[in-house]
Amino acid sequence: MDGYYETFPYIKPNETVTHNVNGITVKFHLYDSSHRGGGFATGKIDDIDMVTKSCSPGALDVAILHHHLFPPPGYSDRFGDLENADDALAYFVACGFDAILVGHTHVSYFETFSIRSLGAVVTDSRRVGRIAKKIAQWSSWLEGERWFKVPTCADGKRPALSEYVEYLYIRNTLGRTMPEVKSFSSVRQFTAAVRSQNSGYRETTEGQRKRRTLLSMSPSAMQSEAAMKGFHILQFQFADTGELSSVSVEHHQYHKKQYTSFERQFPMVPS
């Protein structure tokens, strides 16, 4: 990939390009999924590039990368997936992006999903479980602490994952004083201490679990010599409250000199 950054000077790790469109702040968060040494056959987003992003209501936050996070339906060739696709997908969901735009397969695909409906887009049930756990890990890191294993109480037993993430939310986000996990004599004592805080975390995370994200896979490569398969037009609609309410996807397709198009509408408000 000699000269890659000279050809595409804006596609750099952690780069965010911001525009104002019809009064809406649109932020494009760019990720370089090619291997650092060059090559697109397989991809990876380095841990150092997965950093906290400020996604906020009233703005449109879009993540853009080259490689797909999972193969689209009917695409049997897994060659070309991100090597750390589970971590990357969990990271994007935890950040709260409204849309994720990818390419690489050049097979048209678009769908919305939430944490609660991961199984609708990730068909491997084992991956769904891993991704859900990683989302909790990334969420706790975005709240101020990244971890890979729940610490033990004094009795050597570990609290439940959900209880520990709530503990981090209370301590790091709400700023309340909480003892170290190891200072609790048992998991029961730890759980009682967490629940006595009435943090509102469960209500907050339930909304996050229902929050929807659009995934769009580009059907055509960008090179001038590549076959023109088609393209997607995405239109995001915002309610009067400033909340993203829906997105429509126009799919324009070329096949054997025939042109067809159709449109799908997706609600984005948690239900």
Q: Of 158, 186, 206, which marks where a domain is finished?
A: 206
DSSP element (H, E) containing 237: strand 230-238
Lowest-pLDDT range, 10-19, 167-176, 195-204? 10-19
In a domain, 140, yes or no: no
Whole-number average pLDDT of the chain: 80
**49 and 178 housed in the same domain:** no
pLDDT at res. 38: 57
**109 and 194 housed in the same domain:** no
Contacts for 48 with CB less than 8 Å, ≥ 6 apart: 13
Q: Tell me how many domains the chain contains.
A: 2
Residue predicted with more confidence, 75 or 52? 52
**114 and 43 housed in the same domain:** yes
In a domain, 231, yes or no: yes
**15 and 100 housed in the same domain:** yes
In a domain, 137, yes or no: no
| Amino acid at site 224 | S
Structural domain containing residue 158: 149-206
In a domain, 136, yes or no: no
What tokens appear for 255 in the block?
């096949």
Edge-to-edge strand ranges of the sheet holding 24-30: 15-21, 24-30, 59-64, 99-102, 213-217, 109-113
**95 and 16 housed in the same domain:** yes
**98 and 170 housed in the same domain:** no
Residue 108 sits in a domain whose CATH number is: 3.30.750.180
In a domain, 129, yes or no: no
CB 92 within 8 Å of CB 70: no
**202 and 245 housed in the same domain:** no
**111 and 244 housed in the same domain:** yes
| Amino acid at site 85 | A
pLDDT at res. 1: 37
Across the range 90-118, mean pLDDT stands at 83
pLDDT band at 190 (very low <50, low <70, confident <90, very high): very high
**172 and 247 housed in the same domain:** no
The answer to whether the Cα torsion of 207, 123, 92, 50 is positive or negative is positive
**87 and 180 housed in the same domain:** no
In a domain, 226, yes or no: yes
CA 19 to the chain's CA centroid: 21
Q: Of 206, 223, 245, which marks where a domain is finished?
A: 206
Q: Percent helix, strand and coil across the chain, each rounded to 5?
A: 30, 25, 45
**114 and 226 housed in the same domain:** yes
Q: Of 166, 184, 206, which marks where a domain is finished?
A: 206
* Block residue for tokens 């150092």: 48
Q: pTM (2 decimals)?
A: 0.76
The one-character DSSP state at 81 is -
In a domain, 101, yes or no: yes
CB-based burial label for 65 (10 Å; 0-12, 13-18, 19+) = buried
In a domain, 183, yes or no: yes
Contacts for 34 with CB less than 8 Å, ≥ 6 apart: 1, 4, 40, 43, 66
**153 and 120 housed in the same domain:** no
105-133: pLDDT as tens digits = 777 788 888 887 887 777 777 788 778 77
Percent above pLDDT 90 for the chain: 17
